Amino acid sequence: MLAQIKGKRINMNEILTFRDGAEVIRLGQGTWYMGEDASKRQEEIKALQYGIELGMNVIDTAEMYGDGSSEKLVGEAIRGKRENVFLISKVLPWHASSKGTIAACEGSLQRLKTDHLDLYLLHWQGEYPFEETLEGMMELIRQGKIRRWGVSNMDVDEMEKFYSITNGDTCAANEVLYNLSRRGVEYDLLPWCKKKKLPVIAYSPIEQGRILNNEALMDIADKHQVTPSQVALNWVLRNPDVIAIPKAGRVEHVESNYKCLSLVLDSEDYQALDRAFPPPTQKKRLEML
């Protein structure tokens, strides 16, 4: 599926391969805040469908987003296209008991109008022991309702706890906040995940637009005749173990995001970005939005 899409050959450095062999393009589509405004619904559906046509096959959603309205929107967008989508959703921590995880997943599947998820994540740590959540995840895999399980917003300490549990090392991914202005994960979490061959999914890769007026970003964008958001996205994707999931509610925005894959930053660009957004020099608490 990924070798060639609409006549365009996909570069191997654009692809991430999970441990079980599943392949995705490392630029996906986020859906936070999508599906909440009825006046934007058709435009958002078209945007997601256009992204799928371009090969941006990862679509990330959650039961939390709009209390399920995002999942319903995604379900409509992927109708007839499900085989071309790597579908991710998440269970809220207060639903993450063994039975609660199963029930939450079934609710997500109903809203998404599909019989399985490609990846199901614990959204963040809550009161339930990881063992309970993992029990629910493994049962969902046995039932064929999810293909893989993973986590979100988990730092090294939490990951170590998961990996100490039976089957904990079958975790398929960790989704965290990561962008130019949120680089704390580079100090220890990204190296830990790389050692474990655990893909990282970067949410809010352009900090919801808040960093785009940065002078260094704008200068680099002018130099390459691209947009600041394309520079910021390309920077996140410099790491071959990272998937970025920017939200785009319009077709034009999706196309702009996709073009970031053609950008080639040079050493001067990276140095300028390091000066503007310094990498961490010590452990920082994992950030969340």
Record the tokens describing residue 182, joined without a space: 């949120």
Interior angle at CA 55, CA 75 and CA 36, nearest 5: 35
pLDDT digits (tens, 9 = 90+) for 98-111: 999 999 999 999 99
Q: What is the pLDDT of residue 48?
A: 98
Q: What is the mean pLDDT of residues 107-132?
A: 97
Q: What is the pLDDT of residue 6?
A: 44
Mean pLDDT across the chain, nearest whole number?
Answer: 94
CA gap 90, 33 in Å, rounded? 15
- Is the pLDDT assigned to residue 186 strictly greater than 80? yes
Catalytic residue among 50, 65, 128, 203: 65
Q: What is the pLDDT of residue 151?
A: 98
Q: What is the pLDDT of residue 13?
A: 72
CA distances from 4 to 7, 12, 15, 32, 237 (A): 6, 11, 12, 29, 20
Q: What is the mean pLDDT of residues 27-32?
A: 96
- Is the pLDDT assigned to residue 118 strictly greater than 90? yes
Q: What is the pLDDT of residue 173?
A: 98
- Is the pLDDT assigned to residue 94 strictly greater than 70? yes
Q: What is the pLDDT of residue 3?
A: 41
Domains of the chain and any CATH numbers:
15-209+240-252 (3.20.20.100)
pLDDT digits (tens, 9 = 90+) for 44-69: 999 999 999 999 999 999 999 999 99
Whether the pTM exceeds 0.85: the reply is yes
To the query of whether residue 65 is one of the catalytic residues in this protein, the response is yes
Q: How many residues does the chain have?
A: 289
pLDDT digits (tens, 9 = 90+) for 243-288: 999 999 999 999 999 999 999 999 999 999 999 999 999 999 999 9
pLDDT digits (tens, 9 = 90+) for 223-251: 999 999 999 999 999 999 999 999 999 99
- Is the pLDDT assigned to residue 202 strictly greater than 50? yes
Q: What is the pLDDT of residue 10?
A: 55
